[in-house]
Homo-oligomer: A and B are copies of this chain.
Amino acid sequence: MLLKVSCKLNNFLSIKHGIKKYYSVLASVLEKPELGENVEIKGWVKSLRVQKELVFADVSDGSCAQKLQVTIPKHLKTNDLTYGSAVNITGKLARSPRGQIELLAENVKIYGKCVVLDGYPFNPRTSHPPEYLRRYLHLRSRTNYISAMLRIRHSVTQLIHKYFSSKNYINIHTPIITSNDCEGAGENFKVLPDNEETVKSMMQQGLNSETVYFGSKAFLTVSGQLHLEAVCRGMGNVYTFGPTFRAENSKSRLHLSEFYMLEGELAFCETLEHLQNTIEDFLKFILTEIRNSNEKDLNLIDKNNTTPTWLNKQFITLNYDEAKNILDKKGMNTAEVGINKEQELALVDYCNGVPVFIVRWPKSLKSFYMKESQNDPEKVDALDLLAPITGEIVGGSLREDNYEKLKLKLPSESLNWYLELRKFGNIPTGGFGLGLERLLQVICAIPNIKDTLPFPRWPHNCSM
Contact = CB atoms under 8 A, between A and B. Distances in A.
Contact of A421 (B138, B187, B231, B236): B138
B88 A268 contact: yes
Interface in A114-152: 114-115, 118-120, 137-143, 146-147, 150-151
Contacts of A191: 189-191, 220
Contacts of A153: 171, 173
Interface string A219-249: 1100000110011011111000011010111
28 contacts: A2-B329, A5-B326, A14-B313, A17-B285, A20-B274, A25-B168, A62-B170, A62-B235, A84-B424, A84-B425, A85-B425, A86-B425, A86-B427, A112-B422, A112-B426, A114-B424, A114-B425, A153-B173, A161-B161, A177-B457, A184-B194, A187-B198, A189-B194, A192-B192, A213-B460, A214-B257, A215-B460, A215-B461
B180 A227 contact: no
Contact of A258 (B154, B175, B258): B175
Nearest to A247: B193
A313 to B, nearest CB: 4
Interface in A230-287: 230-231, 233-237, 242-243, 245, 247-249, 257-258, 260, 267-269, 274, 277-278, 280-281, 284-285
A1 interface: yes
A316 interface: yes
A427 to B, nearest CB: 5
Interface residues of A, number: 154
Interface string A409-430: 0000000011011111111100
Nearest to A416: B138
A157 interface: yes
Interface string A95-121: 000000000000000011111001110
A427 B85 CA distance: 9
A194 B247 contact: yes
A333 interface: no
Given A2-B326, A42-B427, A227-B455, 9 more contacts: A9-B354, A23-B268, A62-B170, A114-B424, A139-B420, A142-B234, A175-B454, A214-B257, A226-B464
A114 B267 CA distance: 17
A454 B176 CA distance: 12
Contacts of A422: 112
A292 to B, nearest CB: 13
Most B-side CB within 10 Å, residue of A11, A281, A317, A354: A281
